[in-house]
A and B are shown apart, each in its own frame.
Chain A
Amino acid sequence: MKGGSASSGGTDAPSNSSSSSRTKKPKYSKFTQQELPACKPILTPGYVIMIFTAVGVIFIPVGLFSLFASESVVEIVDRYDIDCVPSNYSSNMLAYIQSTATNKTCTRSLNITKEMKSPVFIYYQLDNFYQNHRRYVKSRSDKQLRSRKYESDTKDCAPEATSKGFPIVPCGLTAWSLFNDTYGFSVKNKALEVSKKNIAWKSDKGHKFGSDVYPKNFQTGELIGGGKLNSSIPLSEQDDLIVWMRTAALPSFRKLYGKIEVDLQVNDQVTVVIQNNYNTYSFGGKKKVVLSTTSWIGGKNDFLGIAYLTVGGLCLFLAISFILVYVAKPRPLGDPTYLSWNRNPAGN
């Protein structure tokens, strides 16, 4: 493809070549002669065994630590989406949730199996909810959220862009489907205060959601998707919305609802009063309320610990088997007898 251009035109080429033939010898330097000082590591059995042993030695303790950390986390999960539907509606949960007349209050009792040190994080967990669905992810306007100037910038927000011709703030499916179940907690009939402070990212509150942007025309359409917003509070203060707008990566996700700033003792019965408003029944989603402490590794997840232990163990095992294999069947490095032309002289 480049042949033509490399040899260029006729009048050019002879003059080029004659000049190049007159140029002096290429300058010697380590760089131009490709002789830069270099280290040339080789995978010798020693190195390989060392690498695997090192990985094993590092990974197994890390795995154990992670596992311990994960074990130390106390987590209580309660699925309530089915149980909170009265038995007379159990065959038609959709009608129950869509009706404005039905009583949505639901009381659940959670048994604390292990002491939970404050802060106890309250999450709601949704399963089978694809917040990463393409149509969903795209349907929002980050510009509009940031500044009042772009209030009518709703071009990406369909089908929740406008309501009766007026732009919706915040627009789009993402905001429209805002989760609106509420939880009230009490232990031994004493209400636990749920702190909503710092549940959203500071960076989001400070820079992504404008303090001069107020909800407008929100949830005024034919179809109500979820929670409503107090139109006198700017978006930057609407922590629940901000949390919700950080779309989850995976179809099973938790979102921070709030924090309980007191310790929960073993065998405490926590009563949760749930306003079961959010419709997951239409697509078979699940709703769970989660109480969890936290550790340096985050929530309760044994996977990392187990994975570290597995990989570490495997590496140790490999190291040992390499040692055995090396002892059983060594090959001297750089032994010329292994060269192909020495092994079978005829096969050239």
Chain B
Amino acid sequence: MDSRSGIENSPDIESNFNTSSRRSVSSIHLKASHENSIRESSLSHSGSKPVRYGSRGADLEAFSVSQKEINEDDARLVYVNDPVKTNENFEYAGNSIQTGKYSVFTFLPKNLFEQFHRVAYIYFLVIAVLNQLPQLAVFGRGASILPLAFVLLVTAIKDAYEDYRRHRSDRIENNRLAWVLVNDQFQQKKWKEIQVGDIVKVHANETLPCDIVLLSTSDPTGVAYVQTINLDGESNLKTRYAKQETLLKVPEKDGISGLIKCEKPSRNIYGFQANTEVDGKRLSLGPSNIVLRGCELKNTSWALGVAVYAGRETKVMLNSSGAPSKRSWLEIRMNAEIIKLSIFLIALCAIVSVLAAIWLKHHNDELDYMPFYRRKDFSDADGKVDNYNYYGWGVEIVLTFLMSVIVFQIMIPISLYISMELVRAGQAYFMIQDTEMFDEASHSRFQCRALNINEDLGQIKYVFSDKTGTLTENKMEFQCASIWGVDYSGGKASSQNELGGYSVKVDGKVLSPKMKVKVDLDLLRLARSGQNTEEGKHVQNFFLALAACNTIVPLVIDTSDPNVKLIDYQGESPDEQALVYAAAAYGFMLIERTSGHIVIDVQGERQRFSVLGLHEFDSDRKRMSVILGCPDKNVILFVKGADTTMFSVTNKTLNMNIIRATEEHLHAYSSLGLRTLVVGARELSASEFEQWQSSFEAASTAIIGRAASLRKVASNVENNLCLLGASGIEDKLQKGVPEAIESLRTAGIKVWVLTGDKQETAISIGYSSKLLTSEMKQIIINSNSKESCRKKLDESLVTVSGLSHGSGVSSGAGVRPVALIIDGTSLVYILDSELEEQINYLELQLFQLAKKCSVVLCCRVAPLQKAGIVALVKSRSPDMTLAIGDGANDVSMIQMADVGVGISGQEGRQAVMASDFAMGQFRFLVPLLLVHGHWNYQRMGYMILYNFYRNAVFVLILFWYVLYTCFTLTTAINEWSSVLYSVIYTSLPTIVLAILDKDLSRRTLLKYPQLYGAGHRQECYNSKLFWLTMMDTFWQSVAVFFIPLLAYWKSTIDVSSIGDLWTLAIVILVNTHLAMDVIRWNWVIHAAIWGSIFATFICVIVIDAIPSLRYYWAIFHVAGTGIFWLCLLLIIIAALVPRLVVKFLYQYYNPSDVQIAREFEKFRIPRESEAGQIEMNPRDDPPLR
């Protein structure tokens, strides 16, 4: 049904969908049930030239393009070069984008609507509305709305600013220019004016304005190279193809027309299906024919395409939603206390109502004429006597209840919500500004992408880490090789003195590889000696295989010196890149790759090999192969792959010794933590080649089961190989990783490593990163069935519990730490969710086991399994989890964990986009958790408790006064002070403190990672602290209220004066209370606390200086008396004495670790010299600083 085009267009040039397969040729793709579930045939078809750069992804779900007809209803019809017709029937989005949420007109309603999603705000709105009823108006109308309005305003301003920034970037984006075909001429048009159906021309290094289907490119074969860094962060080049049929058309002259029927816009950036009719022929289009908005065209001077999706319907925009919002544990926990406070509030209101009811009942007869109640209203001109503002006993009680809710409303601290946001923003600022979390190498700062889980960083119990790129640098480096049974890893020579060795002169210009590789001099000599010796021949074959058997695209880059050019090897797999760089260093430099051939410079001599066939890597075969037509007309098959599958296809009869030697070397390499690959080759006879070619062609044109038949063809030809050798590639550990892991472990954080690598590599990385130590008992689970899994788990559980119980509880020091190593296959059985009962049992067993282990290493796991493991821990334990990773395969895990951290490293930005925090290096996790996490947790915990206290003490004072006003909700504290209390009088110090206070210095926290345990033990926020705080609150309110009451009993004091006394007393008290808990007094904190008290005095004076208010001049009268100041002093001291006593006794006789460390920090006990006796577990080398 498809035409036989000359150039093949495989649908899946880049399989970035699954990075674990991409990362390493040797890594295995687990066939978990969720993967490759749909495996329909791909639409790609081979042409006459049997070259394919990628059949590998054919079996990946994302690339499988269904052959089935696109449903008419779901289809989008695009008339090529006819945007008018395209857009007349259907409303396709234009290309202007709008990421801004609001416009000038919609801002107010939309923003308010969004803000009122918070229950707390609705509560305050209801109260403000209640207060508007004349019968209930406790506060003045303005005063009651003010706090809510203030909070809404602050948030609105923040939202407006963010939205303004988005609008600005939208505007810039929308006004960029692109070349569009208008009336058979390319004209520049603004991006926003591009419509679906337009033909767009993009030049080299330009960004694509919308998603386009390629029509033709500057390359005669229709290839376009694109960089998708803005999309998925991959910096390597990807190839896209124009269809053969459209390739030769020149739109200016020929006037292209046609109809593209494609699927509705979707978020899948790796999937696209469409078909088109060109000149009466129907063509299928797949993901390799579409270039997405945001990509950059590289290495191709121009490309031409039809816009199919524009604006918000482009895939990049559909994918632009942020990370799912997470809520911090502390905030969830806080809600429990908010409920307690609500109950408390209702209780207070109930008490007031009941007492009011009793009072009213008791004085019912007197109410009519009582001078301060006067139920009867005689003022009616007709002489009719009505009740004034009295609706009967029952209604009065209900009204009293509602009024008391209004008066006591700040029991639920509204200001806390806004404070928490400000504090988190402040904390984020300091985390970003931390110079020790700045990565010099990549010039990347720490990024706070989620602003609401800062404090969770202080309570992390489990860290799930990816290995490649996270623990390691993901910069593969060729280390050693075993060729023909000989190990070349001994003599190490630096690359520096051999610089000239592997540059090549082409047309008078010097070409050299971009990356230098350390070379082994022996090997280099052998490689140069060439065909003269047997050894040299094998070495040459080996390196030829490395240079040829890959999918690397060499790119020539200009340097400042016009005669020197660099070759940059672009490819999907860093392993392949490392191998090609290594081959180049040894004189086998890959110079050019075109559709049908490659050019390799062999020791200064350019040789052209035609690439007759290429079998991509797939997860079943775990190897790839290439069939080369050599200059001497021989046809050679080179295969490279994982040892497990390679040895089964080598010809064992040939040279057993070599195989055995290679196996030994491989073992040695992997125990060094090197990634190994085995290379083999076989010469194909003419008949063999013929046979292969026909079957390959048949397989690649097959419509159904193409991937499977291609795999079969590959398997058929990949046998009887002659073993050439094996390579060892080092995946270097990042700087500071072992120290970081040790710090985390000492801090009581369990580090789990989840990797796609094989077990040996994982274990060796485990050792080199100090995750595993020799004294650990290793439990390895490699099971192939559910039953054996269950058995193994049960056994291990018994072993582990035996270990811990055997040594007894008292002398627990002797317990051997246990490391659990489990592979993906076993996890498939354990996490398999088909049988309900079974999973629960196995999962539970695994969790029980893992809980007891200090280290868990999961190897060969698929991305979704990673998320599954995180989910397992998250669902079964209340502990906080953190996932850290760098690649697309970590995204699911990062989003699943309580805190997701992305490493902005080699693998691009997908992990970063999904993460809550992003940073450059794994080791920054230590300052992030131990320092900032600890601080943030302590600060936030204290701030929440303090805010509860601050508001409750105020409410209680109001409550006490109500008891002396016939339960009628009069407030002595004037309404303006009530409003300003949580806005001006007391808000700033707590915010400043929560941003700036530090319980311990960075140095101490890093030196004693155990101090992190404060977060695990929930030392800064727990029920006990809450109740203690509330008891303290109760006492303090009693002191504040009753001291003036008794001092002024039977005196001439008036409401305003005593109200001012109470106002000042509370404000000074709560600020002094806060001051008592300040750990580090710097000038900002001084300014905030004393400034707030000063500001309160000013405010009270200003309020009392307004003659139209009844409080006029009260403060001046009352402050002129000695009794006022005596009361104030007595209140502060009497209120704080119990707290001081309890705090002191607690700190002195039951000191927390943090307390001891603080003392240690301050006094620097001379005992340090005799620390030999007292084990402080000091870290030998604090990793930072």
Contact = CB atoms under 8 A, between A and B. Distances in A.
Contacts of A3: 322-326, 449-452, 916
Contacts of A279: 371
A136 B970 CA distance: 10
B1145 to A, nearest CB: 9
Interface in B925-952: none
A204 B598 CA distance: 101
Nearest to B424: A2
A107 interface: no
Nearest to A296: B1122
B1097 to A, nearest CB: 18
A22 interface: yes
A282 B433 CA distance: 72
B9 interface: no
Nearest to B920: A21
B44 interface: no
Interface string B998-1030: 100010000010100100000000000000000
B1055 A247 contact: yes
Interface string B310-339: 000000110111111111000000000000
Given A9-B320, A159-B378, A314-B1137, A253 B1052 contact: yes
Contacts of A207: 1107, 1112-1113
B712 to A, nearest CB: 41
Given A14-B909, A137-B1055, A345-B812, A25 B435 contact: yes
Contacts of B327: 1
Interface string A178-220: 0000000000000000000000010110011000000000000
A9 B166 contact: yes
B1051 A253 contact: yes
Main SS class of interface, B: loop
A340 interface: yes
Nearest to B1109: A142
B104 interface: no
A55 to B, nearest CB: 6
B806 to A, nearest CB: 13
B1133 A132 contact: no
B592 interface: no
A125 B170 contact: no
Contacts of A143: 1108
Given A14-B230, A20-B445, A173-B371, A4 B321 contact: yes
Interface stretch (A38-46, A85-93, A112-120, A269-277): A38-46
A304 B1127 contact: yes
Contact of A9 (B99, B912, B1054): B99
B1163 interface: yes
Interface stretch (A27-35, A231-239, A259-267): A27-35
Given A25-B438, A45-B1148, A307 B118 contact: no
Contacts of B1013: 340-341
The residue in A226, A246, A336 that gathers the most chain B C-beta atoms within 10 A of its C-beta is: A336
A283 B970 contact: no
Interface stretch (B83-91, B211-219, B607-615, B1174-1182): B1174-1182
A301 B1043 CA distance: 12
Nearest to B363: A283
A26 B1113 contact: no
A80 interface: no
A146 interface: yes
A176 B965 CA distance: 19
A100 interface: no
Interface stretch (B177-185, B272-280, B529-537, B1075-1083): B1075-1083
A146 B1107 contact: yes
A51 interface: yes
A159 B1117 contact: no
B430 A34 contact: yes
Given A11-B170, A39-B1081, A249-B1055, A336 B1156 contact: yes
A225 B378 contact: no
B447 A20 contact: yes
Interface in B1108-1132: 1108-1110, 1112-1113, 1116-1117, 1121-1123, 1126-1127, 1130
A340 B438 contact: no
Nearest to A310: B1134
Interface string B897-931: 00000001000010011001000000000000000
Contacts of A27: 433
A27 B429 CA distance: 12
B606 interface: no
A300 to B, nearest CB: 9
Contacts of B1081: 38-41
B451 A204 contact: no
Interface in B799-818: 809, 811-813, 815
A170 B916 CA distance: 65
A344 B813 CA distance: 9
B1156 A334 contact: yes
A8 interface: yes
A101 interface: no
Interface in B947-988: 964-966, 968-970, 972
- Quick one: which of A32, A163, A303 has the most chain B CB within 10 A? A303
B815 A250 contact: no
Contacts of A26: 432-435, 438, 445
Most chain B Cβ neighbours within 10 Å, of A24, A40, A282:
A40
A309 to B, nearest CB: 11
Given A14-B230, A39-B1081, A250-B964, A336 B1176 contact: yes
A340 B1010 contact: yes
Nearest to B1017: A340
B1053 A253 contact: yes
B1113 A204 contact: yes
Contacts of B1174: 336-337, 342
A153 B438 CA distance: 67
A10 B1137 contact: no
Interface string B159-191: 100100110011001000000000000000000
B1134 A2 contact: no
Nearest to B1149: A331
Interface string A96-125: 000000000000000000000000000101
A249 B1048 CA distance: 9
Contacts of A142: 1108-1110
B379 A159 contact: yes
A331 B1157 CA distance: 14
B547 interface: no
A341 B813 contact: no
A162 to B, nearest CB: 5
B97 interface: yes
Given A132-B970, A135-B968, A304-B1130, A333 B1159 contact: yes
Contacts of A43: 1140, 1143-1144, 1147-1148
B1153 A339 contact: yes
A9 B1121 CA distance: 62
A207 B1108 CA distance: 9
A137 B970 contact: yes
22 contacts: A3-B451, A5-B322, A6-B451, A7-B323, A12-B165, A24-B443, A33-B435, A41-B1081, A43-B1147, A43-B1148, A130-B372, A131-B372, A134-B969, A160-B379, A162-B381, A222-B383, A279-B371, A304-B1126, A336-B1174, A338-B1151, A339-B1010, A348-B748
Closest A-B pairs by Cβ, 6 of them: A10-B320, A346-B812, A9-B99, A3-B325, A7-B322, A203-B1113
Interface of A: 1-17, 20-28, 32-34, 36-43, 45, 48, 51, 55, 59, 62, 66, 123, 125, 129-137, 139-140, 142-143, 146, 158-165, 173, 176-177, 201, 203-204, 207-208, 221-223, 225-226, 246-256, 279, 282-284, 296-299, 301, 303-304, 307-308, 311, 314-315, 318, 322, 329, 331-342, 344-348
Given A14-B229, A158-B389, A334-B1157, 4 more contacts: A38-B1085, A333-B1165, A334-B1160, A338-B1156
